[in-house]
Chains A and B, each alone.
Chain A
Amino acid sequence: MYEFTYIKPGSLPEASDLLTRHEGAKPLSGGMTLIPTLKQRLSQPSHLVDLTGLAALKGIALVEGRLEIGAATRHVEVATSTVVRESLPALAALAAGIGDPQVRNRGTMGGSVANNDPAADYPSAVLGLAATVHTDRRSIAADDFFQGMFATALEPGELITRISFPLPERAAYAKFPHPASGYAMTGVFIAVTGGVVRVAVTGAGPGVFRWTDAEAALQASFSPAAIAGLEVDATDLNADIHAPAAYRANLVRVMALRALETLQTSSKGQ
C-alpha cells in the first residue's frame, strides 16, 4: 500500500468537504474492495475518509411505503434485519449470499453500489427494483446510475448516502456463485412493482443490465413457460477463464427460471 492519511469525520458535511477539498481523497466504507485494491497498489489516494461513523449513512427504515437503507449499512445487517426480511425478503436473501461471513460483517451496500463490480449482487436489486440512489448532492434513478463496468453516474467526491427501494408485489434473486469468491457468475433479480415486471442481470455482462425480452414476455404471461424458449445474445457478454460468453448467456435464462421458481413457492419471494 502507498501511504495515505486516514480521517474519520463525524458528520456528512465534514466528509463531503474533505472529499471536495482533497482531490486525491477517497471514501472508505467496509474496505472489502478498497483495501485489497490498495494492497495491489492499483490506487493511490492521498486521504481515506472513513464513512462508517456517519449517522446520516446508517439505518434501515420503512418510510412512506419504501424501504430506505443507509449507504454504510453492512451486508450482515441487511441479511438479518427483521424489517428487510418482512418487507423485501428477496433483498435479505441476496445480502445473505454475498461472499462469506467475514465479508458480510464489513462490506456495505453503499460501497458495493458505488463500486459497481460487474459481478456484484446489489446492483441487480437496485436496478431490478428501480430503486433511487440518494447522494449528498442529488437523487439518481437506478436506470441512470449504472453505466457499465465499474462506472456509475457518481461525480468525483460525490457520496451515496442511502438507497430507497419501492416495495414490490413480488421479487426474487437467483445467482450462480463463483465457487471460490461467491461473486455472481450470473445473477438475475426479478421484481414485479406496481404491476410492472423488471428483470436485472448481473455477472453476465460488462455491467448490470435489464433483460428486456424477458420483461416483455413475463409482462404478457408471468410464468416460467414465457421465458423458457428465450435466447440470450452472447455477443456482448463476459468471457473469461471461468466461463465463455455462451455459458453465461445460458445461465441468464437458467437463473431467471430459478428466480421464478422461488416466486411460485412463496408469494413474496424468499
Chain B
Amino acid sequence: MSQVSLTVNGKAVSVDVEDRTLLSSVLRENLGLTGTHIGCDTSQCGACTVHLDGRVVKSCTVLAVQAAGSDVMTIEGLAPSHDPSGATLHPVQQAFSECHALQCGFCTPGMIMAVTGLLKDTPDPDEQQIIHGLEGNLCRCTGYVNIVKAVKQAASALRA
C-alpha cells in the first residue's frame, strides 16, 4: 500500500492505494470522477484519456503511484479550467455539441481531453494533423467526420 497525493482538477487529494492500482481506478472509484471512461483497459481506445502535468495520457496505463505529486485534469475539470464560474462549456465541448461530434458519447470524454491536448501543441491543425493527433482515440459510432469538424471549429474559437 502507498499513500498517493496529487492534484486533481485543481484540488489537492490524497488516497491510500495498492501499488498496482491504476490512475483510472483512483479517478473513478476513489474520487467518483466517472467521466473518465474505460473502453478497453488495454491501452488502445483512449476513452480514459486525461491530462497528466498538462500532457495527454491513457489513465488506464499509468499507475496511481507513478502520478504521485502530479497535476491531473479530467473531463470534469475542463469547463471550470476555462470559466471558473462553471456556467459555460469549454470551447471544445461546445464545438462537439454544435457539430454533433458524438452519438453514444462513450468515447467523448477521452476524445475531448485528447483534442484539448492536441490544440495546445497545434493551435491551427490541418486535417492530417487532426487525424494524426487523434490516433490514440477510437470512436465506434461517428465515423470521425463530425469530430474532425468539431476540432476545426474549436480551434478557431480558441484562437479568437
Residues of A within 8 A of B (CB): 1-6, 8, 28, 31-32, 35-36, 38-39, 48, 50, 52, 76, 99-103, 105-106, 180-182
Contact = CB atoms under 8 A, between A and B. Distances in A.
A193 B28 CA distance: 51
Contacts of A38: 20
Nearest to B133: A101
B43 A180 contact: no
Contacts, number: 70
A32 B61 contact: yes
13 contacts: A3-B18, A4-B19, A4-B20, A31-B61, A32-B61, A35-B62, A36-B61, A38-B20, A99-B136, A100-B135, A102-B114, A105-B52, A106-B61
A182 B43 contact: no
B18 A102 contact: no
A6 B2 contact: yes
Contacts of B137: 100
A103 B136 contact: yes
A99 B135 CA distance: 8
Q: Chain B at the A interface: mostly helix, strand, loop or mixed?
A: mixed
A75 to B, nearest CB: 12
7 nearest CB pairs, A to B? A100-B136, A6-B19, A100-B135, A105-B55, A102-B136, A1-B20, A6-B65
Nearest to A47: B19
Given A99-B136, A101-B133, A101-B135, A35 B2 contact: no
Contacts of B65: 6, 8
Nearest to A33: B43
Interface in B16-64: 18-20, 41-44, 46, 49, 52, 55-58, 61-63
Nearest to A179: B135
B156 interface: no
B118 interface: yes
Given A6-B2, A35-B63, A182-B135, A102 B56 contact: yes
Contacts of A3: 18-20
A38 B136 CA distance: 21
B66 interface: yes
Contacts of A1: 20
Contacts of B91: none
A38 B2 CA distance: 19
A55 to B, nearest CB: 16
A106 B2 CA distance: 22
Contacts of B49: 102
B109 interface: no
A185 B89 CA distance: 41
Given A32-B43, A35-B63, A48 B19 contact: yes
